Structure 1
Amino acid sequence: MILLKFAREWIGTIAIAFVLSMVIGIFVIQPYKVEGHSMDPTLRDGQRLFVSKLSHTFSYYPKYGDIVIIDSRVDRNRTFFDDVKDNPIFQLFHNTTEHVFYVKRVVGKPGDVLELRNHEVYRNGEKLDEPYVKEAMESSAQENWTVPEGHIFVMGDNRNHSEDSRAIGFIPLDHVLGKKVM
């Protein structure tokens, strides 16, 4: 009888801990591991960081220069179930090798006109001061984009080795999963 009561208490405690960790991971803060070199030299491959999920939870835009985690599958809608299954606790039970989450820097917000010219990035006609960029972009082609409402434009700090908005397009606000805090 005592053993049964003890087991029930432990199971209840573990269930509460599981639910709390899911809620915190979905809505507040989540660990993330950097994969690849697109953010060199700012972040290294394999580096661990924490991401605040509050911007995703309350749907507000990150600031210029913020480092964010994005869902690169911009051609599909995200659902609450995506947030649940992307939680690290759920990942323990659902192993996937699909690399769809990217860490990038916010360069443009709705209404911004972004231009690439002379190996530099211009926002609304002004050259960006980007001391964090690894090296000058190799691209010599002039390109420009106007960021639509409800989206952002992101780029990696290692511009010559980054799959970012130049390749995948504008990032819907609900695909911005959070911003780096540590």
Structure 2
Amino acid sequence: MTVNDAAETATSIETPKKPKKKHSAAYYAAAFFAKIGCTVLFVWLLLTFVAGVFVCHDNSSFPMIKDGDLCITYRLGKLKQGDEVVYRHDGKVCFGRIVAFGGEAVGISDDYVSVDGYRVYEDTVYPTTAENAKITFPYTVPDNCVFVLNDFRSDITDSRTYGGIPLDDVKGKVVFVLRRRGI
């Protein structure tokens, strides 16, 4: 018998298999609830620190966002001029478009908006007036705040009424809109 024959004989002899341990119903229940708990924790962390889900209850951002639309926001991205955002004011969820950041001067005249003396470019021209505004123009946005205007500009419940919106109150940039009414 050669060394190779001995090796083949050794591998052909099967070692006895250990019988599988049977788990109880309590084990499977605990495993199931542990998986549910981990899933709930992951979704909570995702919706708290990365994304948000909001429903628009007015037409302040019409025509982009309509009453009843479901909006998903992204919290981690850097905000820029022209972004549609969700913010809270006095406990109410509001939608608006960023026009200016802290330290910039906003002016509204002749149905257009200017920032630091330059007219703001918008894909769609929204006639904007300072009529009935609670602030005076030119308005210098406070540091760590943004100046937000509604897309539906005749609704002045935005920075023309509130002034600068603190960045801590901005809940994220709108990245997805799901139409729930009028489909």
Superposed pair shares fold, TM > 0.5? yes
Deviation at 1:2, TM superposition (A): 1.8
Q: Which moved more, 1:29-38 or 1:147-156?
A: 29-38
- As a proportion of its length, which structure holds more helix? 1
CA distance in structure 1 between the partners assigned to 2:68 and 2:44 by the alignment: 24
Matches within 5 A, 1:102-141: 102-133=94-125, 135-137=126-128, 139-140=130-131
Structure 1 residue 138, shift from structure 2 partner? 5.1
Number of equivalent positions: 151
Query: Aligned equivalents of 1:126 and 1:106: distance in 2?
Result: 15
1:12 aligned onto 2:69? no
The percent of aligned pairs where both chains have the same amino acid is 26
Output one character per residue of 1:65-120: Cα deviation in whole Å (capped at 9) or x when no partner: 001111113xxxxxxxxxxxxxxxxxxxxxxxxx6111110001111110111122
Structural RMSD (CA): 1.9
Aligned match of 2:160: 166
- Distance across 1 between alignment mates of 2:73 and 2:156: 20
Paired letter, 2:105? V
**Where does structure 1 lack aligned partners over 5 or more consecutive residues?**
74-98
Task: Extract unaligned runs of 5+ from structure 2.
Answer: 1-22, 177-183
Report the structure number with the largest CA radius of gyration: 2
TM-score, normalised via structure 1 length: 0.75
Structure with more relative contact order (C-alpha pairs < 8 Å, separation 6 or more): 1
Partner residue, 1:39: 61
Task: Write the deviation string for residues 26-75 of structure 1: whole angstroms up to 9, x where unpaired.
Answer: 111122222210111121111122100114xxxx5x100001111113xx
For 1:172, give the aligned amino acid: P
Aligned to 2:144: 150
- 1:63 is matched by which residue type in structure 2? K
What is the CA distance between 1:140 and its match in structure 2? 4.7
Please give the TM-score of this superposition, normalised by the length of structure 2.
0.75
Q: 2:85 aligns with which of 59, 63, 68?
A: 68
2:10 is matched with none
Q: Which amino acid aligns with 1:148?
A: P
CA pair 34-162 structure 1, distance change in 2 beyond 3 A = farther
For 1:24 and 1:162, locate their aligned partners in 2 and report how far apart those are by CA, in whole Å: 33
